[in-house]
Structure 1
């Protein structure tokens, strides 16, 4: 008996929809790469060495700012529609790209905060308490996904089954676990924003891609969480089924 035989048909439909979202997540990012005429793995080489060396610490600072701002703002500023979050970050990306690397670096924690709030809002859509510290930690793990400028075939899906607790020293621990991957992703974003001539256009397009990507990955993440909760099936089994569905979706 295969894993597929163990998954009910209605669950298969949900997994197929999540696979379509996963595929859609990276589509805009590839368009950005075509626009700037580069490859994701080469973007980081465009950054000055001091920026590359300080990228992980800058990412940790951005995550710290985002974490505190997200916790403090939920009781004051309601969750926004996905299109509004995308419009906001796109505008910020244009401003960041217009001034080159200095303004792109300054814009980084602001965009990270909006992205985290967007992820929290999607968690709430799926019936989870986004104000709960553990759920906020869960929201942070979405940043550990591949990133919009990578060609992800579904192989790297560990973030879907990661469990972290946002209490005490664990705050520092989650920053350390998420920051290395996110630093690479945000480094690609910074490099794209500083492409000569394109400037603001590249910044806007990159932020549009990033917001679209993390919104879709949040739907995948919390959609799978809810499916496991409602169906009573192990998340590990559902992740394997999702991986198969993603590969099948990509081969079409």
Structure 2
């Protein structure tokens, strides 16, 4: 690991960055265990999907993100934020139902799972002191999906996407969704293929959803943990993010 020098040698900040880097590196662990169980790999999972599903996945993901963005925010006025384990339990049940129904059931379950994931991310943002109904924070929540998926060989550079600034308008939000959708589509394609593993069905669907929910919850805690650290320490968020990326590499 290369040596990183902070402008202010604050040992508390350095320790927090080390913890966030450790959390980021360990986020994909549950996913890798599940995929080992179903016999999948990043290289083979997408090939399992029928060609029409693969070709339509990006469009379906973009549509799911658009739906989830509104639904997750509206639901905050009806249902309070839930602990991580509750969100994992809910998406696990959805994955079981989707896996039981094969590829058709998994596709039908997809938008509900994306909405649940986004709502969980919003809850983590609120836990760190940010308002999920603020337009900028809504976009920050979406940026969590821009991180390379748990099967990618991510060197930390995708964290830089978090710092990209766009005009906070409806067009800006939609523009961000079109940028996030292709990357998330690849991740969701792997999820779909894994949860429709022959014979395993509902069991695979439940396990895959549990693991992917855990992954994005951890990534959200890294993202908003860093933003919170910048706010509390008074240090530049962009600089702290560069320090974090250096530790991840």
Shorter-chain TM-score tier:
over 0.9
Question: After superposition, what is the alpha-carbon deviation per residue over 1:122-144, rounded to whole angstroms, capped at 9, x for unaligned?
Answer: 00011111111221111011010
Deviates further, 32-41 or 136-145 = 32-41
What are structure 2's unaligned runs of at least 5 residues? none
2:38: which partner in 1? 36
Q: Cα distance, 1:120 vs. partner?
A: 0.3
Task: Identify which of 5, 9, 14 aligns with 2:16.
Answer: 14
1:61-72 equivalences under 5 Å are 61-72=63-74
Q: Cα distance, 1:3 vs. partner?
A: 4.1
How far apart in 2 are the matches of 1:138 and 1:163?
10
How far apart in 1 are the matches of 2:17 and 2:105?
40
Is the counterpart of residue 115 in structure 1 residue 117 in structure 2?
yes
Residues 56, 179 of structure 1: 8 Å contact kept: yes
1:232: which partner in 2? 234
Is the counterpart of residue 79 in structure 1 residue 64 in structure 2?
no
Residues 97, 202 of structure 2: 8 Å contact kept: yes
Deviates further, 71-80 or 102-111 = 71-80
How far apart in 2 are the matches of 1:158 and 1:246?
12
How far apart in 1 are the matches of 2:129 and 2:22?
21
Q: Cα distance, 1:202 vs. partner?
A: 1.3
Q: Cα distance, 1:63 vs. partner?
A: 0.5
Q: Cα distance, 1:165 vs. partner?
A: 4.5
What are structure 1's unaligned runs of at least 5 residues? 248-252
How far apart in 2 are the matches of 1:131 and 1:48?
38
Residues 141, 162 of structure 1: 8 Å contact kept: no
Deviates further, 3-12 or 13-22 = 3-12
Q: Cα distance, 1:151 vs. partner?
A: 3.9
Residues 66, 109 of structure 1: 8 Å contact kept: yes
Q: Cα distance, 1:166 vs. partner?
A: 4.5
TM-score norm. by structure 2 comes to 0.93
RMSD: 1.5
Structure 1 segments of 4 or more deviating over 4 A? none
- Give the number of equivalent residue pairs: 246
TM-score norm. by structure 1 comes to 0.92
Residues 138, 164 of structure 1: 8 Å contact kept: no
